[in-house]
A = this chain, B = another copy of it.
Amino acid sequence: MTADLQRYFDDHRANFLDGLRQLLRIPSISTLPEHQPDIRRAAELVAAELRQAGLHQVRLIEGDGNPLVYGEWLQAPGKPTLLCYGHYDVQPPDPLEEWLSPPFEPAIRGDDIFARGASDDKGQTYILIKAVQALLAVRGSLPVNVKFLIEGEEETGGRHIEAYARRNGRQIGAQAVVICDTEMFAPGLPTLCVGLRGLVYAEVEVTGARADLHSGVYGGVAPNPLQALAEILTGLKNAAGRILIPGFYDRVREPSPAERSAWARLPFDEERYREREIGSPELVGEAGRSIFERTWTRPTLEIHGIRGGWTGEGAKTVIPARATAKISMRLVPDLAPQEVFERFRGQVERLTPRGTRSQVRLLSAAEPAVVDPDNSYLRAAAAAMTEVFGAETVYIRSGGSIPIVGLFAEHAGIPSVMMGFGLPDDNLHAPNEKLHLPNFFGGLRAVARYLEMLG
Identify A95's interface contact among B212, B217, B218, CB under 8 A.
Answer: B212
Per-position 1/0 for A423-450, Cβ under 8 A of B: 0100111111000000000000000000
A302-B227 in contact given A92-B316, A208-B280, A364-B315 (Cβ < 8 Å): yes
User: Which B residues touch A239, using CB under 8 A?
Assistant: 231, 353
Residue of B nearest to A282 (CB): B355
User: Which B residues touch A78, using CB under 8 A?
Assistant: none
Q: What is the size category of the interface that chain A forms with chain B?
A: 35 or more
A31-B314 in contact given A214-B428, A302-B224, A400-B214 (Cβ < 8 Å): yes
| Interface flag for A211 (CB, 8 Å) | yes
- Whether the Cβ atoms of B201 and A317 lie closer than 8 Å is yes
Identify A330's interface contact among B30, B215, B280, CB under 8 A.
Answer: B215
Identify A241's interface contact among B31, B220, B424, B430, CB under 8 A.
Answer: B220
Quick one: which of A197, A230, A286, A319 has the most chain B CB within 10 A? A230
- Whether the Cβ atoms of A278 and B209 lie closer than 8 Å is yes
Query: In the complex, what distance in Å separates the CA atom of A234 from the CA atom of B284?
Result: 20
| Interface flag for A28 (CB, 8 Å) | no
Residue of B nearest to A241 (CB): B220
Identify A221's interface contact among B209, B278, B317, CB under 8 A.
Answer: B278
User: Which B residues touch A241, using CB under 8 A?
Assistant: 220
User: Which B residues touch A319, using CB under 8 A?
Assistant: 302, 304
Per-position 1/0 for A404-431, Cβ under 8 A of B: 0000000000000000000010011111
- Whether the Cβ atoms of A229 and B230 lie closer than 8 Å is yes
- Whether the Cβ atoms of A298 and B220 lie closer than 8 Å is yes
Query: In the complex, what distance in Å separates the CA atom of A284 from the CA atom of B231?
Result: 14
What distance in Å separates the Cβ of A341 from its nearest Cβ neighbour in chain B?
13
- Whether the Cβ atoms of A354 and B282 lie closer than 8 Å is yes
User: Which B residues touch A325, using CB under 8 A?
Assistant: 226
Per-position 1/0 for A190-226, Cβ under 8 A of B: 0000000101010000001111111111111111101
- Whether the Cβ atoms of A211 and B427 lie closer than 8 Å is yes
- Whether the Cβ atoms of A92 and B312 lie closer than 8 Å is yes
User: Which B residues touch A233, using CB under 8 A?
Assistant: 226-227, 230
Query: In the complex, what distance in Å separates the CA atom of A285 from the CA atom of B220?
Result: 5
Per-position 1/0 for A284-308, Cβ under 8 A of B: 1110000100110010101111111
Within A247-301, the residues touching B (CB, 8 Å) are 277-286, 291, 294-295, 298, 300
A306-B304 in contact given A31-B312, A279-B209, A312-B32 (Cβ < 8 Å): no
Quick one: which of A277, A315, A424 has the most chain B CB within 10 A? A315
Identify A310's interface contact among B92, B283, B313, CB under 8 A.
Answer: B92
User: Which B residues touch A221, using CB under 8 A?
Assistant: 278, 283-285, 291, 294-295
Per-position 1/0 for A84-122, Cβ under 8 A of B: 000000011011001000000000000000000000000
User: Which B residues touch A218, using CB under 8 A?
Assistant: 277-278, 295, 399
User: Which B residues touch A385, using CB under 8 A?
Assistant: none
- Whether the Cβ atoms of B32 and A314 lie closer than 8 Å is yes
- Whether the Cβ atoms of A315 and B155 lie closer than 8 Å is yes
Query: In the complex, what distance in Å separates the CA atom of A300 from the CA atom of B222?
Result: 11
Residue of B nearest to A422 (CB): B217
Identify A428's interface contact among B217, B308, B431, CB under 8 A.
Answer: B217
- Whether the Cβ atoms of B295 and A309 lie closer than 8 Å is no
A305-B320 in contact given A278-B210, A313-B33, A401-B216 (Cβ < 8 Å): yes
- Whether the Cβ atoms of A157 and B315 lie closer than 8 Å is yes
Quick one: which of A209, A237, A302, A424 has the most chain B CB within 10 A? A302
A-B contacts besides A220-B298, A305-B318, 9 pairs, CB < 8 Å:
A30-B314, A91-B316, A91-B318, A218-B277, A227-B237, A227-B303, A282-B354, A306-B309, A315-B364
